[in-house]
Amino acid sequence: MFDRLGEVVSVVLGALALGYLIYEIDRRKRKLSDLFYVLDNEDADISAELMDMVESGELQPYTRGGRA
Amino acid sequence: MAKTRSGPRPPMPQNNPPSVNEGAVIELPVRARPRKSRPSGPPRFRIFIIDSGWNSVARRVLRHNFALVRRLHRDDPIYLLSRKRSRDFIHRHRSLIGRDPIIAVHDLDAIQQHYGNAGFHGLHLHLGILRTPRQVLTALQAFARFLRVHRESPDLEPDIRSELRREGIVGTVEILLHKVPRVIGG
């Protein structure tokens, strides 16, 4: 009886530990790809606006003491 | 009652060292090493800094290290958006709220290859999602290093993906060893 209960508790605890580990790795992976965010066609409008600002001369490259 | 010092005064230090004559002119050596000329050539990246001004640790760390970032990437133009311009920009692109300061890097080679920004065309560093100065500094250093090392890369996208994969594997190992992963911290 107690042996069986002990086995069940071990299995449940092991599953919980494994689940937590998977959750934690996935969370950090998502945070990493949010931190270093790769731009693709979904972000085209964001980038296009920045490019337009440069092309139109609205933004100038930084030189010491200057800010757009 | 004012206190007066009593007792022997300590000897005053000598202003002139004995080896230097009074009135002698000492010529400082002229800079022997010639300055390195700036490498010419078209820039690979355009770097934008978007910061709407949240009073965050990321803002402070970025400001403190901006001169160094500028020096490390002096071959590529850096565009600083003013606080107002950043606010307006983020207002139009609401997915960016809370992620700034953002360093947006456009890969000019990729833009040329894909005829615009339809495919991969650069990356963002979202410093605003980090909470401690150490995390921000580590991310900023990793980012600066990555751009510098892969500046000549013919295709930047696989480099970024493999770096992120490597960083992810290192992070997993660090979790298993109960350490805090280097870049993203806790």
* Interchain pair B181, A28: CB under 8 A: yes
Mutate to test the interface with B, among A24, A37, A60 (most CBs of B within 10 A): A37
Confidence (pLDDT) at B183: 57
* Residue numbers in chain B where pLDDT is lower than 50: 1-7, 10, 12-18, 20, 34-35, 37
Domain extent, residue A26, equals 2-55
Beta-carbon pairs below 8 A across chains A and B? 113
Domain ranges of chain B: 45-154
- Tell whether domain B45-154 is in CATH 3.30.1490: no
Confidence (pLDDT) at B89: 93
- A21 to chain B: which residues are within 8 Å by CB? 175-176
Confidence (pLDDT) at B125: 92
Q: How many domains does chain A have?
A: 1
User: How much is the average pLDDT of A4-23?
Assistant: 88
ipTM of the complex in this document:
0.77
Confidence (pLDDT) at B2: 44
Confidence (pLDDT) at B101: 92
B122 in reach of chain A (CB within 8 A) = yes
Q: Which residue of B has its CA nearest to A37?
A: B124
Confidence (pLDDT) at B105: 93
| The token pair that represents A65 in the structure block | 């003491």
For residue A25, name the pLDDT band (cuts at 50, 70, 90): confident
B103 in reach of chain A (CB within 8 A) = no
| CA distance readout (Å), B158 to A20, A68, B76 | 30, 33, 21
Q: What is the Cα gyration radius of chain A?
A: 26
* Interchain pair A37, B126: CB under 8 A: yes
Tell me, yes or no, whether A63 lies in a domain.
no
Tell me, yes or no, whether A68 lies in a domain.
no
Q: What is the dihedral of CA B75, B71, B157, B116, to 10 degrees?
A: -50
The DSSP element (H or E) to which B138 belongs, if any, is helix B133-149
Q: What is the dihedral of CA A44, B49, B60, B150, to 10 degrees?
A: 80
Confidence (pLDDT) at B1: 43
A17 in reach of chain B (CB within 8 A) = no
Tell me, yes or no, whether A62 lies in a domain.
no
